[in-house]
Structure 1
Amino acid sequence: MTDSSDIDSGTHVHADVDVDTDTARKLVFSDVRDVRLDSVSTEELGPNDVIVETTVSAISPGTELLLYHGEVPEQMAADETLETLDGDLSYPTTYGYAAVGDVVKAGKEATDRVDERVFAFHPHQNRFCVDSDNLISIPDGLDDETASLLPTAETATNFLLDGSPRVGERVVVFGAGVIGLCTIQLLANFPISELVVIEPIPGRRELARTFGADRALDPSACDDIFNDHDPPGADLVYEVSGQPAALNAAIDVVGYDGRIIVGSWYGNKPTELELGGDFHRDRITLTSSQVSTINPDLRGRWNTDRRLSVAIDQLNAIDVDALITDRVSFDDASSAYRRLTEVPESTLQVLLTY
């Protein structure tokens, strides 16, 4: 783990340390590149509510960095499918959806959950009150750090459900960040003919090969990678780099009647698609994939509970230790976001510890 104190301070964090067990601290995105810890009163327990003491939470290097950099569209609504997120994402706002902790107190209808280890889709906060129905029990075989990557595994699972990789297909993944690497490792278990990863950071390319990629290339070398095949081009492309320019590259790589699954959220970064060339005649399918919902074509047999159960199983197939590069104290949360911004070549998954 790299010591986050090595990063020069370019942001500020203001911690209001509390000693009252009825108060907690929450992380607030207060402005561009500015986060702080605010005191907040834990809500009065309802009959089915519990108090969770957080042990670890995972930072989403996609959405949270968009918030940190001020790249979320103004008045963008929070994810309405998560009851712990409300309002919009304008400053100041709380965010996060990967908290693991222990139930330390419960209302009269949830006393059976006291002392249980749980996962919650909850913003970064050292202690919080939540309806017990919104908690996920952590299996004994998963440690807290692994469990905190459950949303990442669920997102990767959703990508595979949306893309439907088929036996013998040629698959390309743009982006070997945390979600890209999880997607790569799950794809490597499929009987596809070749898995190629496009990633600018050398260390991430090497990790992609370790995770099962047949080839991992710099974006400058991705032209014509399947042009000598019959039929030419990739069958399936995943764009999970977070970089709008990669979407045009994905269109160039995919073949006739190919599929592109767009897992990136670009925020308010401009995206200029070049649709006047091969795209117009090649019947390319562009599909947005977002974990809040299930593919409409699958809803007859799939729901979010089933997908989540599969994602928990998939966590056992993902090399979580290779993904976690930094563990940062919640009190020093601002350094975690600086590190993700300033040294991405050596930073993947950052965990906040409590």
Structure 2
Amino acid sequence: MEIREEALPAPKAGEALVRGLASCVSQGTEMLLYKGEGPEPFDVSLGDTSVATYPRRYGYAWVGEVEEVGPGVAHPLGTRVFALAPHGDAHVLRASELKALPKAVPATRAVLAANLETAVTCAWDAEPNFGERCVVLGGGVVGTLVAWVLARSGTNVTLVERSATRRAAASALVPSARVITDAAPDGRADLVVEATGDPRVLDTAIAWAGFEARVVVASFYGARRAPVDLGNAFHRKRLTLRATQVSSLPPKLRPRWDMERRLDLVVDLLREERLDSLFGSPTDFDRAPQLYEELARQPDPSPAHTLLYR
């Protein structure tokens, strides 16, 4: 990874120059890119599919402050905004790409908006019922946020995560959850969410699931492949295996929900101060290459990592 400088144009009609405050490294997805394990094209939802998978700019959890606007932009100067924009200390963006943030939500927490949208969508796709037993495999930022949303939905959550640092963060955010290092799957869960990023864990997810339970895959595996045993327990227990993905809404919600309403919900959820427990120490942007090196080799990282621009 390297930091490159480029000139930015003046904002045109409907555009704003936004100066960066913070952005969040989406560790699971970005490490696929960093390690060369991503598919080609890498992310069709965030840009031109003709752009090479690597090298390229990436990131989608960026918070900044409006510094200059073109004609027709309603955001006042100084407005703090969230955008699905790559890491960088400034962007010229269309006003329609900016989500104004309340002053009560600090920029360093607001960077969770993209991951929280993923977690909310995962919970919608999982269709939790009050009182159900839910098992979340993986305590990264998405897995822990999914556990939090499911617990708020009235389910009994068990989160399985080997990292002591991540278990501590999950316990702080979701005190009602049972947070464990590992356990023999008991085959009693009504719902299992696989959020480790490792396709080999799908067999474990199937083992946790009870009869006619749902197994929801929140992980993005990229180019990673693993054999999955669908020949015995999966078949006999009549399990449902479901993918969840943030770039579209569940069909049953589409008559009433759109992306803007979902983001409004997420911004409201970001008022929860306990979300700050997910973050490790922030990193200045000029040290971003070193941060990625550390994340690639660190065995026990915090769930979320923030780049600071001022």
Q: TM-score range by the shorter chain?
A: over 0.9
The residue number in structure 2 matching 1:168 is 131
> 1:112 offset after TM fit, Å?
4.5
CA contact (8 A) 1:182 1:318 kept: no
CA 260–318 in structure 1, closer or farther in 2 if over 3 Å, else same? farther
Give a deviation string over 1:171-201, Cα, whole Å, max 9, x none: 0000011111112222222322x31111111
CA 208–324 in structure 1, closer or farther in 2 if over 3 Å, else same? closer
**Which runs of 4 or more aligned residues in structure 1 lie more than 3 Å from their structure 2 counterparts after TM superposition?**
85-89
The residue number in structure 2 matching 1:154 is 117
CA contact (8 A) 1:102 1:118 kept: yes
CA 306–270 in structure 1, closer or farther in 2 if over 3 Å, else same? same
> Residues 278-289 of structure 1: matches in 2 within 5 Å?
278-289=233-244
Aligned partner of 1:38: which letter?
R
1:181 aligns with 2:136: no
Of 12, 17, 41, the match for 1:76: 41
CA 279–266 in structure 1, closer or farther in 2 if over 3 Å, else same? same
The residue number in structure 2 matching 1:258 is 213
> 1:77 offset after TM fit, Å?
4.5
> 1:344 offset after TM fit, Å?
3.9
Match of 2:213, SS state, is strand
> 1:94 offset after TM fit, Å?
0.7
Distance 1:155 1:145 in 2: 18
> 1:44 offset after TM fit, Å?
4.2
The residue number in structure 1 matching 2:85 is 122
TM-score by structure 1 length?
Answer: 0.82
> Residues 40-79 of structure 1: matches in 2 within 5 Å?
40-73=6-39, 75-79=40-44
> 1:223 offset after TM fit, Å?
2.5
The runs of 5 or more residues in structure 2 that have no matched partner are: none
The residue number in structure 2 matching 1:246 is 201
Distance 2:259 2:108 in 1: 22
Match of 1:118, SS state, is strand
- Using the TM superposition, name which of 43-52 and 261-270 deviates more: 43-52
CA 88–263 in structure 1, closer or farther in 2 if over 3 Å, else same? farther
Q: Give aligned-pair identity as a percent.
A: 33
Of 268, 271, 292, the match for 1:337: 292
The runs of 5 or more residues in structure 1 that have no matched partner are: 1-34, 227-232
> 1:89 offset after TM fit, Å?
5.0
Distance 1:207 1:139 in 2: 25
- Report the structure number with the largest CA radius of gyration: 1
- Using the TM superposition, name which of 306-315 and 128-137 deviates more: 306-315
Aligned partner of 1:163: which letter?
A
> 1:316 offset after TM fit, Å?
2.3
Distance 1:223 1:282 in 2: 14
Distance 1:100 1:112 in 2: 14
CA 318–240 in structure 1, closer or farther in 2 if over 3 Å, else same? farther
CA 165–184 in structure 1, closer or farther in 2 if over 3 Å, else same? same
